[in-house]
């Protein structure tokens, strides 16, 4: 039985709507490094795992995201692994609360990166903002909250980059922005989805209040090449 596209969202995004950000071939793909750190194999066959391993920088890491506790690709090792959930929404509940929201673009990229670096909503790099549309809230000209889109595959778009500066939390900005991003995705005829660490019950409760429901448990693993693989590389 074939995987559901959301079981390997990064793979399906990189071979469809986000192919322009892709490195790799027909068995494994990863995002270019200044956009994202996610990488995926087409399936769990040995040849796909071998291709996946080759996409990991000799001195770096990638993030492996999928359902279940499947075996790590040979020649890799887990630096960090955490339980997560994937959530989807078929409709978004209306809410009270409002804030002046603006579209963010290239001119806002340095501020977006600075806010994400401070608040750590997930991997965010110099050109992550190019993956999709982002919106933000400013106070006195300062970007204090944002949310946007990350993985895009046929029929689905991920809500991501949701963050608020610590000085401005508790004002409902995350809910307002997440609702706007999700509504925009639904209006395009797509299904919004997102990922949250299982331990982050505050975020999960927020997304439930908006209309999201857990679709599946996920495992998020930061992978590097194993020590044996690194040492063997230098002999070539």
**pLDDT tens-place string over residues 116-155:** 999 999 999 999 999 999 999 999 999 999 999 999 999 9
Q: How far apart are CA 113 and CA 110, in angstroms?
A: 5
Shortest CA distance to 161 belongs to which of 100, 117, 197, 204?
117
Q: How many CA atoms lie within 13 A of 190 on its CB side?
A: 20
CA dist 179 and 184 (Å) reads: 9
Q: What pLDDT is attached to residue 233?
A: 43
- Reference 53, options 32, 22, 69, 30; nearest CA is 30
pLDDT in tens, 20-52: 999 999 999 999 999 999 999 999 999 999 999
Over residues 228-236, mean pLDDT: 44
Whole-number Cα distances in Å, 67 to 36, 41, 125, 172, 196: 20, 13, 25, 31, 13
Q: Which CATH superfamily is domain 88-216 in?
A: Gcn5-related N-acetyltransferase (GNAT) (3.40.630.30)
- Whole-angstrom CA distances from 91 to 4, 67, 149, 200 are 20, 24, 17, 23
Residue 64 pairs in a beta bridge with 39, 221
Q: What percent of the chain has pLDDT over 90?
A: 86
pLDDT confidence bin for 235, thresholds 50/70/90: very low
Superfamily for the 5-86+219-233 domain: Gcn5-related N-acetyltransferase (GNAT) (3.40.630.30)
Token pair belonging to 226: 């194993």
Query: Which residues make up the CATH 3.40.630.30 domain(s) of the chain?
Result: 5-86+219-233, 88-216
- Which long-range contacts (C-beta less than 8 Å, at least 24 apart) are formed by 44-51? 44/70, 44/71, 46/74, 49/73, 49/74, 50/74, 50/75, 51/24, 51/25, 51/27
């Amino acid at each position: 039985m074939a995987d559901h596209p959301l079981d390997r969202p990064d793979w399906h995004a990189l071979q469809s709507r986000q192919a322009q950000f892709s490195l790799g071939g027909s068995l494994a793909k990863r995002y270019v490094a200044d956009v994202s750190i996610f990488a995926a194999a087409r399936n769990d066959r040995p040849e796909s795992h071998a291709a996946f391993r080759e996409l990991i920088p000799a001195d770096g890491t990638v993030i492996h995201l999928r359902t279940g506790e499947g075996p790590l690709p040979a020649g890799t090792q887990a630096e960090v692994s955490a339980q997560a959930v994937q959530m989807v929404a078929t409709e978004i509940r209306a809410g009270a609360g409002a804030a002046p929201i603006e579209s963010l673009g290239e001119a806002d990229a340095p501020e977006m990166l600075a806010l994400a670096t401070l608040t750590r909503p997930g991997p965010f790099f110099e050109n992550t903002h190019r993956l999709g549309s982002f919106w933000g809230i400013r106070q006195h000209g300062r970007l204090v909250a944002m949310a946007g889109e990350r993985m895009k595959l046929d029929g689905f778009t991920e809500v991501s980059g949701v963050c608020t500066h610590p000085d401005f939390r508790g004002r409902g900005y995350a809910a307002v922005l997440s609702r706007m991003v999700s509504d925009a995705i639904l209006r395009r005829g797509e299904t919004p989805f997102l990922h949250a660490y299982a331990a982050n019950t505050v975020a999960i409760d927020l997304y439930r209040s908006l209309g999201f429901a857990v679709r599946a448990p996920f495992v998020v693993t930061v992978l590097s090449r194993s020590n044996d693989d690194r040492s063997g590389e230098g002999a070539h």
